[in-house]
Structure 1
């Protein structure tokens, strides 16, 4: 009887996920084997769209930019978030110290991209401030040259994501048992030694989750890139998600865009699986 009630309760959630996630993905996977412009019926073309992936120079540029995003947005916001969390933990006024880092996370990626897009323009506030202070770089084209524009947007993304990573690490620090830390202090450990040998190992499960979330988010980055540069100039700052959007909704190449979407989904899932498997393997050892 209990099993029947459990199935009744679970069925709506399963149907909800199937309708909103699985069915659209299956339709996208089908379109990836077709030539389709959004009108009429899709025309089956086999693996042509996937062969095109390996010969598209713009796609290769977006792959390079996506890899840069993966490295930058897993190291900068996670590393800085951990640093701020450790420095502000268990000190008087620590909550007020963390507050400015949380405010950017309350903003949408599109809003953030719009603001920083104005700041980083050739005649924007960043160059004007550098010129006013007499510092070098007052004529820097932050968003006009690749891959410099990608690095600039990664810094903006890190500025936004730092706060939530910091908050997660603060929660992790608060959940650490006090006994090992006090015992280490009695034995003379402090500072870097205390963090490296006691605090960091105890926070490893949480760090795995934070890095995993940052990894997935970096692979599907879209809003900030589209608002700040629209992948330009000359498609020099496109990521895979932006390329997919451009092919489907700008170029009306639904088949090729769907192939990029399937490839991006596969890479994201595979990267997440390999990362989690590696981290779980390290914990089991």
Structure 2
């Protein structure tokens, strides 16, 4: 046992240094006034009291909830639809390939590609024959970025659902077909219940990812105009590294951590029960 502990100790120390120590340091800073230069001054719950009264927080929460709801409906819902419709098709993998390619782009790269397309006078305006500033008005800017996010995430969700479909035993499906089930009835009463474990994983991953949305929003709008498209992650970054209010930004980080952890816990608890 002593030798085993010695083997594991370096990995445990590395994880503690890279994950737990920054987390504890952030928690400490959330109770201080700190600008990165002068010594931190203990402020108690002052940062959290200020956070509750900050109107930008309500905007961030609203946009974050839009991201969560939109992710459940679009990338996850459409991914399931594409997976089901292409599963039994001959050469279905080739039909799914165009949906997979955008996933190779990072969120930052995605924003750089789509920002000029959706800008005022961009390609989207020319193709649609409109004169709309997609990224300059709320909540249209958040919805536009959500569609871009869907374009990227649709492929990986489709792939996960296809894996789930392939793992379903064929016997229940064949028995249901012999009983006359087909189409929507077959999917709703047989395929969907059998895919429940994988669906829980896909939805859980999408939930956490949407709550932490940052890179695509920062690259495309930087949370603007007037902080109208900020999410909680963008608010945390702006207050910490742009405004150099490390204590206040740490309070936002703690809030985001609590929201993400609570949402994950409630979701997993519901799946277990």
Q: TM-score, structure 1 length as denominator?
A: 0.94
Q: Which residue of 2 aligns with 1:130?
A: 128
Q: CA deviation at 1:75?
A: 1.7
Could you tell me which of 148, 152, 168 is aligned with 2:144?
152
Matches of 2:72 and 2:16 in 1, distance apart?
31
SS of 1:152 mapped into structure 2:
helix
Aligned partners of 1:33 and 1:255 also within 8 Å: yes
Q: Which consecutive unaligned segments of at least 5 residues does structure 2 have?
A: none
Shift in Å at residue 5 of structure 1? 4.3
Aligned-residue CA RMSD in angstroms? 0.9
Count of paired positions = 273
Residues in 2 aligned to 1:61 and 1:8: alpha-carbon distance in whole angstroms:
49
Could you list the structure 1 runs, at least 4 aligned residues long, displaced by more than 4 angstroms after superposition: none
The reply on whether 1:274 has 2:266 as its aligned counterpart is yes
Residue 227 of structure 1 is matched in structure 2 by 219
| Cα distance in 2, alignment partners of residues 24 and 13 from structure 1 | 16
User: Residue 81 of structure 2 is aligned with which of 80, 83, 94?
Assistant: 83
Q: Structure 1 CA distance, aligned partners of 2:34 and 2:80?
A: 47
Which of residues 206, 212, 235 is equivalent to 2:204?
A: 212
Q: State the alpha-carbon separation in 1 of the partners of residues 67 and 239 from structure 2.
A: 21
Q: Distance in 2 between matches of 1:74 and 1:16?
A: 35
Deviations 1:15-34 (A, max 9, x none): 22211111000000000000
Deviation track 1:12-52 (CA, whole Å, cap 9, x = no partner) reads 32222211111000000000000000003111111000001
In structure 1, distance between residues paired with 2:73 and 2:10: 39
- Who is 1:134 aligned against? none
Q: Tell me the CA shift for residue 129 of structure 1.
A: 1.1
Partner residue of 2:72 out of 57, 74, 96? 74
**Which of 229, 234, 247 is matched with 1:237 structurally?**
229
SS of the equivalent of 1:196 reads helix
Q: Secondary structure at the match of 1:117?
A: helix
- Structure 2 residue matching 1:69: 3-state secondary structure: helix
User: Contact 1:74–1:218 (CA<8 Å) still a contact in 2?
Assistant: no
> Secondary structure of the residue that 2:66 maps to in structure 1?
helix
Partner of 1:168: 160
**2:62 aligned residue (50, 58, 64):** 64
